[in-house]
Amino acid sequence: MGETAIIDYGSGNIRSVARALEAAGAREIYIGAEPKRLQKADRLVLPGVGALGSCLEKLRAQQGLLETLEACVLEKGKPFLGICVGMQVMVEKGFEYGKQRALGWFKGSVRRLNPNKLNSDKNAYLPVPHMGWNNLQQLQPHPLLQGVTEGEPVYFVHSFSVCENNPACAIAQVQYGAPTLAVLAKNSIVGVQFHPEKSQHTGQKILANFLAWRP
Amino acid sequence: MPRIIPCLDVKEGRVVKGVGFKNLREAGDPVELAKLYDQQGADELVFLDITATIEARAAMADIVYAVAGQVFIPLTVGGGVRSENDVQKLLSAGADKISVNSAAIQNPMLISNAAKRFGAQCITLAIDAKKDSRNNQSGFSVYSHGGTRHSGLDAIAWAKEAQERGAGEILATSMDRDGKKNGFDLPLLTKIAQAVDIPIIASGGAGEMEHFKDVLKIPSITGALAASLFHYREMSIAQLKTYLQEQGISMRITEEISQHSCP
């Protein structure tokens, strides 16, 4: 297993992600955003917390970072894992405090959760952010979820979620008032809306699967 | 799924509530206790620093760092958080959420600025509330400095303001119920739940498993917190979650819990 790079662009719980990856078996971890180092890494992880717009701004502010990522991931097919907002940045656009143009690696948009829209039961009101554990419903098999049983819970903290129109890319979802995309994937790219680094044993399995993944 | 959250009060590097002297679990070591609760199926952990001195406060970051390297569930840390700098330090030590209380009462911009800088998801407002006959708004007032000072704020209005300022969650403690074990303060919690859209953790008064069932039925109360109940082994988290699941409240049941509950 070669080096895993955690992209540090000033957003995200870098340290938590690094320690969870170590516990999942990562031997060498690079934390940073230097294009040359990212090119050398075997696989890339993009964490992200906070607002989509500010994450996109910070990504774009790093000299040469986006170009490097696109060359590594879209052209060379390096395994890439986007976590939470790190998943959200991959679609075309977002609507968090205004409108954002995102990276466009996937079709679709990032929209505010509206879990009570279809729910007239006042006694079942669902708060936003969606904060806590929820059961993964697997829509199709993917190496990232190998060994994860149907319905295993993972930890979420988010107010916005990805609406991707292409069912071929939707790997898993959870129910939060409505079906909510939890895992998105194509080629060598996966995105997870939940926090595998905070999802105890299930999260550890998912991170270990990512480290072993050879797309 | 509702969360069951043990709370560890830490003073100068040791857990002080519910400390016994019989074995490791009651040895008052926060890291060992955190690991135990993680194994028992705790959904999150809350650490509250009740240390008075600045030197001892640095020990809190070390504890968080040690726990975060071994326990992969969300960690909320609070107590004495005064500035964005404090928030930053605890986040880099491995905390996922930071709870603010007295400093936010004195300077509400702390909530706005911290939420903007670190994201609303990691800012929890802790409210210590008490029934107050002088308060003619909601009937519940906010106290600061570990419940020693009447702040003059109305508990419900303060919860609303915190949400508007960007807090991602409320940790609501009833001072009237704290330690009494006669149930959560349902009137207080219902009022807060009706006033805000963000998730709420209920705290203060848990004594029986039924109390958890009652409080988790309130919409928006997505977490229930207890301290001595778990520390003193009056009930285990595994037992509690098994009971709640049987009562129709969906819980995260880990392998350890299902093994525990199987005869």
In whole angstroms, give the CA distance from residue A23 to residue B35. Answer: 15
CATH of A3-212, one of 3.40.50.1360, 3.40.50.880, 3.40.50.300, 3.10.400.10: 3.40.50.880
Backbone phi, then psi, for B108, in 5-degree steps? Answer: -60, -20
Of B74, B94, B219, the CB nearest to A124: B219
B200, containing H or E segment: strand B200-203
B260, containing H or E segment: helix B255-261
Of B94, B121, B169, the CB nearest to A49: B121
In whole angstroms, give the CA distance from residue B260 to residue A150. Answer: 21
> How do residues A35-44 score in pLDDT, each as one tens digit?
999 999 999 9
Q: Respond yes or no on whether the N-terminal peptide bond of residue A129 is cis (omega within 30° of 0).
A: yes
Q: What is the mean pLDDT of residues B3-23?
A: 71
> How do residues A137-185 score in pLDDT, each as one tens digit?
999 999 999 999 999 999 999 999 999 878 999 999 999 999 999 999 9
State the pLDDT at residue B146: 83
Give how far the C-alpha of residue B122 lies from the chain's centroid of Cα atoms, to the nearest Å: 13
Q: B151 with B141: CB under 8 angstroms?
A: yes
Residues of B in contact with A131 (CB under 8 A): 121, 168-169, 199, 222
Query: Are A127 and B119 in contact (CB < 8 Å)?
Result: no
Query: Are A122 and B219 in contact (CB < 8 Å)?
Result: yes
ipTM attached to this prediction: 0.91
Q: Which residues 8-47 in chain A show a CB within 8 A of chain B? A: 13, 15-16, 19-20, 23
Give one word for B106, left, alpha or beta, with left for phi > 0 and alpha for psi -120 to 50. alpha
* CA nearest to B121 within chain A: A157
* CA nearest to A122 within chain B: B219
Q: Find all residues with CB under 8 Å of A70, minimum gap 6, and list them.
A: none
pTM above 0.90, yes or no: yes
A113, containing H or E segment: none
Residue A65: pLDDT band by 50, 70, 90 thresholds? Answer: very high
* CA nearest to B199 within chain A: A127
Nearest-CA neighbor of B5 among B79, B75, B96?
Answer: B75
Distance (Å) of CA B73 to CA A99, B111, B122: 33, 24, 14
Of B3, B94, B122, the CB nearest to A133: B3
Instruction: Report the CATH fold assignment for B3-261.
Output: TIM Barrel (3.20.20)
> How do residues B24-68 score in pLDDT, each as one tens digit?
344 478 999 999 999 999 999 999 988 766 666 777 889 999 999
Backbone phi, then psi, for A108, in 5-degree steps? Answer: 120, 180
* A186 reaches B (C-beta below 8 A): no
